[in-house]
A and B are shown apart, each in its own frame.
Chain A
Amino acid sequence: MGLTLSTLYFKKGIRDMKKIRVLVVDDSAFMRKMLTEAIESDPECKVIKTAKDGVGALKAVEELRPDVVTMDIELPEIDGLTCIAYIMEEFPTPVVVVTGFSKFMGEETIKALEYGAVGLVRKPKGPLFQSMGKLKLELLSQIKIASQVDGRKLTPMTVKEVKGKPAKPIPKTTNKIVAIASSSGGPRALSQVIPKLPADLSAGVLVVQHMPAEFIDSLAERLNSESKLYVKVAEHLDPIQQGKVLIAPANFNCRIESKGNEGELIKLLPLSSEKKSHLTSANEPMTSLAPIYGKNASGVVLTGMGNDGTEGLRAIKGYGGYTIAEDESTCVVYGMPKEAIKAGVVDKIVPLHEIAQEIVRRVRK
C-alpha cells in the first residue's frame, strides 16, 4: 500500500514527497511549537502531526506512518519508553528521543535507545533564540540520520535485565586493548556487544560512543548493570586494564599514552569550544594506541553516520592489529562501517550478534 502510494506520488512529481515526514510527540504545547518550528525551518522536513500523549502518538504512527518520530520520554498515560517499544514491534519507525536532560531519567533514556530509538536530542537551554538555534542544529541532523534508517532493522532486541549485581573481576594490567567506535544506533548495538564479553577477557576495552555529554554517564551505568565487566566513563589518567570497559566522555579529545612499566593510561584533553559541536572522535584514541599495542590491538567499527573510525582502523591495521566492522545487515545506519570497508582497512565483517564473539576469539589468540 505504502509503496503504491509512494509510486503514485512520485509519478505525480509532488515535491512534498521528498520531504521527511515527522511526527512530533511531546506533552508540552510549548515544546510542540518549538520542535515544529525547528523542524520546519528546514525545507526538507515537514511536521505532519503533533501528539501530546502516548495514545495519540501510537494512533498517528499507525495511521500516518511518519518517516521519523520525535519522542518525549515523560508522557501521560503511556510513557515514551512504552511507545517506542510498541512502535518498534508494530510499525518499526526511526525514533529520535527529544528529552529534557535529567540525570534521574538517564536510565530511561538509554533504555529508549536500546529499544530502538536511533537519535537522542537534549532539549535546549535558553534564551529562546539561542535554544532555537541549538535545537535546529541538533534535531535536524538527528532527524536526517534517522530518516535514512531502514525500518526493517529496527526489530526490537531483547534487552537482558540483569537481576542483582554480578561480581565483577578485579581489574588488572594487560597488554591488549579493544577499541570500539560507535555512533547512531550505537547504544543499542553496544548493549548487544559489551554484556556478551566474558569476565576473563584479557584485554582492556575502550568505547567511543557519539552522544550528548549528559547521557554518557547513564550509558555507562546501564552497560555496567548489564555486563560482567566493569563499565565506567573514562577519567583523566585512568589506566587501561583488563576487566574494565572505559567509555570516552563527550567533548574530550581522548588519547592513549604509555607509561612504560606502569602500563598505559588515557589522557583527556577538553575539546576547544569551537569544536564542541563535534563529538569525541574515535580516530584519536585508535591512532594513538596503535603503535603502543601493535598486534595486540583490535579496532571495531559499529553502526553510525559518517566516517569516524576509518582512520583509526587504518592505524591499528597498519601496526599489525586486527580490525572488525559491523555487517550492513545489522547496521541501523550503515555509514561508518561502510566507509571503513571501502577504505580497505577492515579484516573481518560480521553481523552485530557475532561481534562480541569475534572480539573474544581475537583477544584469546
Chain B
Amino acid sequence: MELSEYKQLFLDEAQEILNSSNNVLVNLEKEPTNMGLLNDLFRHTHTLKSMAQSMGYEEIAKLTHSMEATLSLLRTGTLRAEKATVDLLFRSLDALGELVETVKGGEAKKVEVAPLVERFKELSSIVAKGERRPSATRRESLKRGKDEHAPKGEKHGEVQAVRVPLTKLDNLMEVTGELSINRIRLVQVTQAIENSALEEIVAQMSRLTSQLQDQMMQVRLVPLEYIFTPYARMVRDMAVGQNKEVDLIVEGSDIGLDRSIQDEINESLLHLLKNAVTHGIEEPDERERQKKSRRGQVKLVARRERDFVVIALSDDGRGIDIEEVEEVAIKRGITTKEELPALTPKEVVMLITYPGYSRAKKVTEAAGRGVGLNASRIKVESFGGTLDIDTRLNQGTTFFIKLPLTMATVQTMLVGVADETYCIPLSYITETIKVSPQEIRSIEHNEMMPYRDTVLPLVRLRDKLGFAKDEGQMTKEEEIVHRYSVRGKRSSITPHISIVVVEAGSKKVGLAVDILLGQQEAVIKPLTGILKEIKGASGATILGTGKIALIVDVPSLLN
C-alpha cells in the first residue's frame, strides 16, 4: 500500500469532483428543484466525504458531511435551494478546494471549516423549527390519549407562498397586457358612443385593469439575487486569474426588479464587474504601496428609489484618470482638443462610455474590448434607465445604474412619421417644440436647430427610419395646415416642424417628426426573431386602434 499513490489518486479525483460540483451547482442555482442535479451534487459530496474519511482528512470529511445534510434536505424538498443555501454551498466548494490544496502541500489560505459547518446547522435548524410547529397539535392529540405514532393530521397552516413557473407568469403578463390594450380601445369606442351608463362601467373596468396590471408588475419583481448570486464566484475566479485579491460585497439583493430587465441588464453588470476587477482594483503589491489593504473591495449595492432601482457598483481601486481619458478620447477621435475645455469633468468621464473608447493596451480575456461600456450604457438607457459614473483618482470608481422597476408598460408619446405611428418613451422626452423650417441651419450635412439660447442637432426620424425624403409630398403637418387653409381660415401659420427634444445619457437632440399624436401608455412587446434586427426600434406595442406601432429606440438613434 503506497500512501503517496492513494494521495495522488485522492487529489486528482477530489479536484474532478469539485469541478463537476461547481458546474452542477451553477446549474442548480438556475433550476433549484432539478432532482437530477440535486442527486448529482449529493453523490459528488458523498463520494468526496467517503474518500476523505478513508484518508483521514477530518476537515474535508466534516464539511462534506454538513453539505450532505443540507443537500439531503434539498433532495426531500424540505429545504429550498435559496440564494443563501446555494451561496453557502459555493463557499463550501471553495473551502474544499483550499483544503484539497492544503492536502497537496501547496500554499493555500487557511480555511476555517467551523463557521461553514455552523451555517449549515443553522439552515437545518430553521427547517427543523418549521417542522416542529405542527407537532403542537400532535402533542395535544397525545394528551387526548392518542398514540404518538398515530398518523399526523393534515397541516392546516396557511399557505404563505406558491411557486409558479416563470413561463406561466410571463403568459399571465401577456394576457394582462392584451387586456390593457383592449381597455384603451374600449375607452375610445365608448367616447364615440357617448352613453353615460356604458362610460361608467368602462371607467370602473379601466381602474380594475390598471390595478390588475399593477399587481402583475409586483408579481414580476424578482429579487436581484436572481442575477447577483453568481457574481461572487465570478469575481473570485477573475481575481484569482489575475493574481489579485478581491472581495465582493453585495447589498440589497433582496430588492425586486422586473425579471426581464434583470435578464437584460445582467450582461452589463457582468461587464462592469469585470472592469472593476481588471481595471479598477490594483495588484496587491501596488495597493500596498498606495497604503491600501492588499485585498481590494468591490461593492454592489442596490436600493430602491420610488419607481426606480439604483444599483451602485463601486471599487476601491485606482479610479479613472481624467487626463488619460482625455488623451484616449482625442486619440480615438471621440472628441477634439478644441471641444474638451467645454466639457465638465463629469462629462469627460462619461466619454469612456462612448463608442470606440478603449484604454486597454492589450485586450485581455476579461475586459477591455471597448464596446462593453458603450453597450452597457445603451442597454441601460434602452429601458429608460441611466448610467452615471463617479470616480476619484486612487480612491475608486462607482457606476450608478438607475433602472425603472418594470418595463412592461411605459408612458409614450405617439408620433406620426410617413403615415406610420411610432411611440417615443416619455422618459427620454424633455419637451416638444415647433420650429419653422427657416430656423434650421445645415452645417456640414448636419442640421442644427435653435433651442432655448443654444442650438441642438436635428435628427429627422423620417431619415433615420429609412423613409424616402419625398419633397413633392407634404408632411402630415403641412397637409393639415393646408387643409385648414383650404377651409378658408386663411391662416398665416407657416408649416412648422414638430420637434420632440429627446435626451439620453449626456446627448440631447431634436427629433423631427411629421405629427404629434398624443400620449399613450404602451404595453411593450419585445421584438423577436428577424424583427430583432430592426435598427432604431426597441420593441413594439399595439395601439388602441389595433394597429401595431414600433417603439423608437432613442439611445441607439443618438449614437
Contacts and interface: CB of A to CB of B under 8 A. Distances in A.
B55 interface: yes
B47 interface: yes
A124 B147 contact: no
Interface string B1-22: 1010110011011000000000
Given A34-B6, A74-B47, A128-B1, A167 B53 contact: no
A263 interface: no
Interface stretch (B94-102, B149-157, B279-287, B358-366): B149-157
A164 B151 contact: yes
Contacts of B1: 37, 128-129, 132
| Residue from A30, A126, A127, A166 whose CB has the most chain B CB atoms within 10 Å | A30
B379 to A, nearest CB: 40
Contact of B54 (A105, A124, A170): A124
Given A100-B49, A167-B149, A31 B54 contact: yes
A165 B138 CA distance: 14
Contact of A170 (B10, B56, B147): B147
B151 A128 contact: no
A76 interface: yes
Contacts of A99: 50
B261 to A, nearest CB: 39
B69 A104 contact: yes
Contact of A127 (B5, B55, B72): B55
A24 B75 CA distance: 27
B354 interface: no
A75 B61 CA distance: 19
Interface residues of B, number: 33
Interface in B475-491: none
Contacts of A33: 5-6, 9
A33 B4 CA distance: 13
Nearest to B43: A74
A339 B5 CA distance: 45
Contacts of A125: 53-54, 56, 61
A224 B13 CA distance: 39
Contacts of B46: 74, 100, 102, 105
A27 B49 CA distance: 13
Contacts of A129: 1, 3
Contact of B151 (A27, A75, A105, A167): A167
A92 B56 CA distance: 36
Contact of B53 (A29, A74, A100, A230): A100
B3 A128 contact: yes
A104 B40 contact: no
Interface in B141-190: 147, 149-152
A76 B147 contact: no
B68 A102 contact: yes
| Residue from B40, B53, B61, B149 whose CB has the most chain A CB atoms within 10 Å | B149
B123 interface: no
Contacts of B40: 76
A168 B146 CA distance: 10
A104 B49 CA distance: 13
Contacts of B52: 126
A6 interface: no
Contacts of A168: 147, 149-150
| Residue from B43, B46, B57 whose CB has the most chain A CB atoms within 10 Å | B46
Given A164-B151, A167-B150, A230-B149, A31 B56 contact: no
A112 to B, nearest CB: 15
A30 B3 contact: no
Nearest to B58: A126
A74 B42 contact: yes
A30 B10 contact: yes
A82 interface: no
B418 interface: no
Given A104-B72, A165-B149, A167-B147, A126 B49 contact: no
Given A104-B68, A128-B3, A30 B149 contact: no
A30 B51 contact: yes
Nearest to B75: A104
A30 B12 CA distance: 9
A34 B9 CA distance: 10
A224 B147 CA distance: 14
Contacts of B151: 164-167
Contacts of A164: 151
A179 B366 CA distance: 70
A194 to B, nearest CB: 15
B281 to A, nearest CB: 38
Interface in A116-147: 123-132, 135
Interface of B: 1, 3, 5-6, 9-10, 12-13, 40, 42-43, 46-47, 49-57, 61, 65, 68-69, 72, 75, 147, 149-152
For the complex of A and B, 5 pairs with smallest distance between CB atoms: A126-B56, A100-B50, A104-B72, A127-B56, A168-B149
30 contacts: A27-B47, A28-B50, A29-B12, A29-B13, A30-B51, A31-B54, A33-B5, A33-B6, A34-B6, A34-B54, A74-B42, A74-B46, A100-B46, A100-B47, A100-B53, A102-B72, A105-B46, A123-B54, A124-B54, A125-B53, A126-B54, A126-B55, A126-B56, A128-B1, A130-B56, A131-B53, A165-B151, A168-B149, A170-B147, A230-B149
Interface of A: 27-31, 33-34, 37, 74-76, 99-100, 102, 104-105, 123-132, 135, 164-170, 224, 230
